[in-house]
Chains A and B, each alone.
Chain A
Amino acid sequence: MPIAPSPRAFEALRAAIEKIEAGGRAPKGFLPFGVEALDRHLPNGGLALGALHEVAGGGNGAIDGTASALFAAGIAARTRGQILWCITRKDLFAPSLAQAGLSADRVIYVEAGDEKAVLACFEEGLRHGGLGAVVGEVARLSMTASRRLQLSAEGSGTMGIAVRRWRRQAEAADFGQPTAANTRWRVTALPSSPLPAAGVGRPRWFVELIRCKAGECADFELEACDETGRLALPADLADRSLAAAPWQRRAAG
């Protein structure tokens, strides 16, 4: 009869694996979201700093990349130092990044001509090591390309965030392909928080943690970034367990 291993043995094993993967480099630290329900699902209670993370939009967000860009901006806002933001399309509106906590003084934009140039700038930024985070808007991200980014991030301790954004809905199926990213997220816009009067409340997102290295997948309904880049658990969900919420919505609808 197999003996169930103790949780302590698991932790020891996990620590040993981390040590091997780090290859003698000191761990770079972690960036918690500050939302307990979210941080609980991430190993070490936060996003790894020297690693690549991937964010995509759900539904039409896969093409316009609004929620995914602001989600990335919220994370970048809470790092230290300047941010390099590599783009191919010029439609990003800086005031909205400022409203997500990322002040204009911290962001250096790079307008690269094509996807290949974006990846090259992305990697260059990650290798430099003096930046807080590097954000790149890319459509295709192959295993090789993401592996390169992940390794350069590991080497310097700078966080890389790949915002996946496609030209057509059909291309968004590309997100099913595996990459070397540490975590993968999908952010979809939901109807905003209800207000007592007519009007649009604080935006809400459906945030899916699709892949998490050494962690499990999960999904959350969250309120969008505030002016300090922090997400929040909606007030009407905060006192209940997450599992109960979808059922309740169904019952209500």
Chain B
Amino acid sequence: MVLAADAAAQALRLYPGMVATQARALCAELVVHDADPEGDADALDRLALWALRLYAPVVAADPPAGLVIDASGAAHLFGGEAAMLANIVDRLAKAGFAARAAMAGTWGSAHALARFIHAPSTIVPSDRSGRAIAHLPTWALRLPDGMAEALSKMGIDTIGEIESKPRAPLALRFGPELTRRLDQAYGRTAEPIEPVEAPELIQVRHTFAEPIGAPETLARYTLKLVEALCIALEAKGLGARTLDLRFHRVDNRIEVIRIGMAKPVRNIKRLTRLLCDKLETVDPGFGVETMVLAAPMAEPLTWKPIATDLTEAATPDVADLIDTLSNRLGAGRLYRVAPAQSDVPERSVRRIDPTAAPTGESWPIHWPRPARLLPHPERIETLALLPDQPPTAFTWRGVRRRVKRADGPERIFGEWWRRDGEVDAVRDYFQLEDDAGERFWVFRRGDGEQAITGDLTWFLHGLFA
């Protein structure tokens, strides 16, 4: 029997459940391998460990072909939930796995959305987890074999229809499993995820005789755990790149904090500070009975010389400040910029990692560039002589300004290798100064001679100091 079919197989009209001989008849060169359920499960576990290192502290395999990730407290490291899902799908695609991702308030709902919505990623707010899956077929609900067929014989095809039926007869006919799955998907019953754990993972745990809940107590034990973890890291000569702090609550739920570092770190004070910054996001509920601190991503810590040059003071390291701020705001919010190889102003700047090595590059110094560049060039009304005279007056945002002095044009050609539409495009940039001394950067589309280069409309693109 055919057990799975990817896009190429589906193009040959193979589908899961098909008999192998029939598949051979459709495709003569088909090589048949025996199914290897244990191997698949192993591979899925390895994938779960990979996700644990990269994405979130609580990850579990969801056989036969899924992963479940508890993203709470981890999405900020990727700059939001949408960015995190896109990252996951993208990386899996690069590794040769076709994947769809969904995020919802419950495991059940996310499970259904990932399998039955044909979009690379879907995000549903927590309070709408139930409503979002109401129109999906009952197969999406993780029911035991045969139950979905039995439901469809009764005329029930979607999850929403089960939800709208009286529960007692359903429970009597199908047993408690149906209502349990339904409640889990709608978020009425908790469904804890048993996280996968790697044997080689460096982690320390502390179990309390009495549940703790006060923020100061949590902070104190965080420090103790960090101290223990740093000893373990030191024994292996490693520094942590990510740290997970899991709080196992008495009501069997897990609260997590994940922090990320730009470089490997083994400094007790710094790590404690980063973790304690996030403690306020943890809800201890009725109390925390176990705290587990793990370092899913650890890298060798290399020592570097403190001062190589006696005449010059060592440049202070700001990596810890970058860590603090990017854990608070999200990684994409901190950046440096570097010149990009382009003359088009909005493309001449690219963002790089704040800890990247200095590029030593700069923009040409002779062409004046405005202090503020408008996000989109704004249309202006002008009076100007063709082909290459600057405007004598212009109106921007309803204010008319007379031009006292002007400089230009600086001609910038379209980049035909990026977009077909830019093959002939030309922008002529002028620097204008009005009566009051305010300076503006404007451009005209087109060179003023050939109509193909632009339609001669004027735009204001930036403001000089």
Chain A residues near B (Cβ < 8 Å): 59-61, 64-67, 69-71, 80-82, 84, 90-99, 103-105, 107-113, 117, 120-121, 124-125, 128-131, 188-192, 198-201, 203-205, 224, 227
| Pick from A84, A98, A124: contact of B362, CB under 8 Å | A98
Encode B423-458 as 1/0 by CB contact (under 8 A) with A.
000000001110111110000000000000000000
Q: In whole angstroms, how far apart are the Cα atoms of A125 and B325 in the complex? A: 9
Assess the B369–A95 pair: CB atoms within 8 A. yes
Interface of B is mostly: mixed
Q: In whole angstroms, how far apart are the Cα atoms of A99 and B369 in the complex? A: 8
**8 A-B residue pairings within 8 Å (CB atoms):** A69-B371, A69-B372, A82-B318, A93-B369, A93-B462, A103-B362, A108-B322, A111-B329
Task: List, in ascending order, chain B residues with CB within 8 A of A204's CB.
Answer: 437
Q: In whole angstroms, how far apart are the Cα atoms of A96 and B464 in the complex? A: 9
Any A CB within 8 A of the CB of B63 = no
B324 to chain A: closest residue by CB? A124
Looking at B108-116, B169-177, B197-205, B403-411, the stretch in contact with chain A turns out to be B403-411
Assess the B349–A108 pair: CB atoms within 8 A. no
Assess the A124–B407 pair: CB atoms within 8 A. no
With A98-B363, A110-B329: A192-B465 Cβ-Cβ less than 8 Å: no
Any A CB within 8 A of the CB of B134 = no
| Pick from B329, B334, B358, B438: contact of A113, CB under 8 Å | B329
Report the minimum CB–CB distance from A97 to chain B (whole Å). Answer: 8
B390 to chain A: closest residue by CB? A198
Assess the A191–B437 pair: CB atoms within 8 A. yes
B462 to chain A: closest residue by CB? A93
B438 to chain A: closest residue by CB? A189
Any A CB within 8 A of the CB of B354 = yes
Task: List, in ascending order, chain B residues with CB within 8 A of A203's CB.
Answer: 439, 464-465
Task: List, in ascending order, chain A residues with CB within 8 A of B360's CB.
Answer: 105
Report the minimum CB–CB distance from A100 to chain B (whole Å). Answer: 8
Task: List, in ascending order, chain A residues with CB within 8 A of B431's CB.
Answer: 200
Any A CB within 8 A of the CB of B252 = no
Assess the B321–A84 pair: CB atoms within 8 A. yes
Looking at B67-75, B142-150, B294-302, B336-344, the stretch in contact with chain A turns out to be B336-344
Interface residues of B in 298-332 (CB under 8 A from A): 313, 315-318, 320-322, 324-325, 328-329
Report the minimum CB–CB distance from B223 to chain A (whole Å). Answer: 20
Assess the A91–B374 pair: CB atoms within 8 A. yes
Assess the A130–B464 pair: CB atoms within 8 A. no
Report the minimum CB–CB distance from A237 to chain B (whole Å). Answer: 16
With A66-B371, A96-B369, A108-B334: A189-B406 Cβ-Cβ less than 8 Å: no
Task: List, in ascending order, chain B residues with CB within 8 A of A199's CB.
Answer: 405-407
